[in-house]
Homo-oligomer: A and B are copies of this chain.
Amino acid sequence: MLTKSEENYIKEIYALEQKHKADVNTNLLAEKIETKASSVTDMLKKLAKKELLIYQKYKGVKLNSKGEKIALSVIRKHRLWETFLVEKLDFSWDEVHKVAEQLEHIRSEKLTNKLDVYLNFPKVDPHGNPIPDVNGKLIIIDAVCLDQFEIEEEGIFIEVKDESENFLKYLTKNNIVIGAKIKVLEKEEFDNSFKIEIDRKQFNISENVIKNLYLKK
């Protein structure tokens, strides 16, 4: 039986492993969890003792299959709840993440699976992130980061990585919503910003925005 804190560490380690395709280091994890490096070290020792990850002093950390399974279970709950909030309770996509951070720790397999049925086995959440199924399997999203696009190339926006409220509100304001067709018009070398077109409107977006948008070519 894991605590909420332990689940959050496991979930964050999983996310960082996916993002960096490498072992996770202490400082980065501390930043993400919003805690101090010393606290991270303590927790890693505990989780290593529980055999949920491989931890070697000064060498970073990596989930084992038991840890990965837990990560996927928490992510499954998080994304199912986000989907529920948007689809059934009429939340907007920028309001759901914080609430889901709480709901993801509710312990009831029956609840999770009944929610899945009720939502008709959704494959992705409101941010386009894949939802692990009851066995922890998730579909591969065939999406490419916008920073990989050439000038004049276009695609459909299907997944966003940053789920912070401010960022999602900014996207909404600029019609950058899931399903929108985005065309790259210009690239600025000096700051890596793009000029893009959506719905015949043209405007500039910064590198920070670009890196969080994933499109289907």
Chain A residues with a Cβ under 8 A of chain B: 85, 88-91, 95, 98-99, 102-103, 106-108, 110-111, 114-115, 118
A25 CA / B106 CA spacing, docked (Å) = 31
The number of times this chain is found in the oligomer is: 2
A106 CA / B111 CA spacing, docked (Å) = 15
Q: Are A89 and B111 in contact (CB under 8 A)?
A: yes
Q: Given A111-B85, A118-B89, does the pair A99, B106 have CB atoms closer than 8 Å?
A: yes
The listed residue (B90, B99, B108, B110) touching A108 by CB distance below 8 A is: B99
Name the distance in Å between A80's Cβ and chain B's nearest Cβ. Answer: 12
Q: Are B106 and A102 in contact (CB under 8 A)?
A: yes
Q: Are A110 and B88 in contact (CB under 8 A)?
A: no
Q: Are A102 and B95 in contact (CB under 8 A)?
A: no
Name the distance in Å between A66's Cβ and chain B's nearest Cβ. Answer: 23
A91 CA / B108 CA spacing, docked (Å) = 12
A154 CA / B37 CA spacing, docked (Å) = 67
Name the distance in Å between A113's Cβ and chain B's nearest Cβ. Answer: 10
What would 12 more interface pairs be, CB under 8 Å, given A89-B114, A99-B106, A99-B108? A88-B118, A89-B115, A89-B118, A91-B114, A95-B110, A98-B108, A99-B110, A99-B111, A102-B107, A102-B108, A103-B106, A106-B106
Considering the complex, give the chain B residue whose CB is closest to the CB of A115: B89
Considering the complex, give the chain B residue whose CB is closest to the CB of A103: B106
A118 CA / B118 CA spacing, docked (Å) = 14
Considering the complex, give the chain B residue whose CB is closest to the CB of A106: B102
A69 CA / B166 CA spacing, docked (Å) = 32
Q: Which 5 A-B pairs have the closest CB atoms?
A: A89-B114, A99-B108, A102-B106, A99-B111, A89-B118
Q: Are A90 and B114 in contact (CB under 8 A)?
A: yes
Contacts of A88 in B (CB 8 A): 118
